[in-house]
């Protein structure tokens, strides 16, 4: 699929410029929940393809998740009607995406409201329900994963979902659990994270902890061979079901865009150098770490 980034700019907020160890949580303004970008039509077309060809990899839901799914869809439709009325036409039986020309009948998604949500906007969605073992993943539409497979995460609580993340159990498990417990309906939060990847593809499911060095990536071509990939994550409390709706919008930028600013490049180098070897391995940075740093310090 052809990719065009000539009109794309780096956002004002870059997560690698925050304080090390900070979760980077911020209050989310209602109007800022979703983001329609220039890649809207391209990304929704990719979602259609994935939901057709890889359905079990990108959508899953347990029967007990239906009430929070319905609640989440109602919240999304209300949001689209309020903030994106020119782009969406909503009736009691269907919704029309005026940007793509697609028409979706609500009855067709009576048992999979979250799937419809994923087809309407660029964001991915997951639902975590409060169960005895903790907040548990019971429904998800994730077309743009970053090196994980949805099927392996379904039915897991937060601590088990994040088990591969270095130091999660020791440093982040309790703060994340506390954040989920304290999240209030009507007061959503958001944060961003980042990775450097060797592909602009949005559907990335290959394993983490890659060790072998890619000899084809050099300091001379890293700007076009590597990509800064970021996730804008939003968390809403669903009042009726007491579940949490977790939203992810994925962005990617050629590393050359970071190289254009010596200050931003220096901040990224600093973030990489402050990262533990275990976390660098988890993020697949170890094989390209030296190449990335050599490229960025030349900015």
Residues 146-164: tens digit of each pLDDT: 999 999 999 999 999 998 8
- By CB atoms closer than 10 A (0-12, 13-18, 19+), residue 166 is middle
- What the block records as the tokens of 37 is 């970008």
CA distance 58 to 51: 7
Per-residue confidence in pLDDT tens, the chain, 299 aa: 344 554 568 888 899 986 555 578 999 999 999 999 999 999 999 999 999 999 999 999 999 999 999 999 999 999 999 999 999 999 999 999 999 999 999 999 999 999 999 999 999 999 999 999 999 999 999 999 999 999 999 999 999 999 888 888 888 889 899 999 999 999 999 999 999 999 999 999 876 656 666 788 999 999 999 999 999 999 999 999 999 999 999 999 999 999 999 999 999 999 999 999 888 988 889 889 999 999 999 98
Q: What is the pLDDT of residue 210?
A: 62
User: Which residues, other chains included, contact 28 with Cβ-Cβ below 8 Å and sequence gap of 6+?
Assistant: 188, 189, 190, 234
Q: What is the pLDDT of residue 248?
A: 98
Q: What is the pLDDT of residue 271?
A: 93
Q: Nearest 5 degrees, angle CA 175-CA 179-CA 180?
A: 120
0.85 exceeded by pTM? yes
């Amino acid at each position: 699929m052809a990719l065009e980034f000539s009109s794309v700019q780096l956002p004002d907020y870059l997560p690698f410029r925050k304080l090390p160890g900070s979760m980077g949580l911020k209050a989310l303004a209602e109007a800022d929940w979703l983001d329609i970008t220039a890649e809207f039509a391209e990304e929704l077309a990719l979602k259609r393809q994935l939901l057709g060809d890889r359905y079990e990899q990108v959508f899953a839901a347990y029967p007990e998740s239906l009430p929070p799914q319905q609640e989440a869809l109602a919240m999304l439709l209300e949001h689209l009607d309020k903030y994106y009325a020119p782009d969406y036409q909503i009736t009691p039986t269907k919704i029309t995406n005026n940007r793509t020309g697609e028409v979706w009948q609500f009855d067709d998604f009576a048992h999979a409201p979250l799937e419809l949500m994923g087809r309407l906007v660029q964001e991915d969605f997951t639902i975590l329900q409060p169960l005895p073992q903790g907040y548990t993943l019971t429904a998800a539409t994730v077309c743009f994963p970053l090196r994980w497979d949805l099927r392996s995460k379904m039915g897991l609580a937060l601590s088990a979902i994040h088990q591969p993340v270095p130091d999660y159990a020791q440093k982040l498990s309790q703060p994340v659990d506390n954040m989920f417990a304290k999240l209030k309906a009507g007061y959503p939060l958001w944060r961003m994270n980042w990775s450097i990847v060797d592909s602009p593809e949005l559907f990335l499911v290959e394993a983490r902890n890659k060790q072998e060095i890619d000899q084809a990536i050099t300091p001379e071509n890293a700007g076009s061979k590597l990509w800064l990939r970021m996730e804008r994550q939003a968390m809403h409390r669903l009042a009726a079901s007491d579940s949490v709706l977790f939203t992810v919008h994925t962005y990617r930028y050629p590393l050359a865009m970071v190289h254009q600013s010596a200050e931003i490049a220096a901040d990224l180098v600093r973030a990489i150098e402050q990262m533990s070897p275990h976390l660098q391995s988890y993020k697949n940075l170890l094989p390209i770490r030296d190449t990335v740093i050599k490229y960025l310090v030349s900015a």
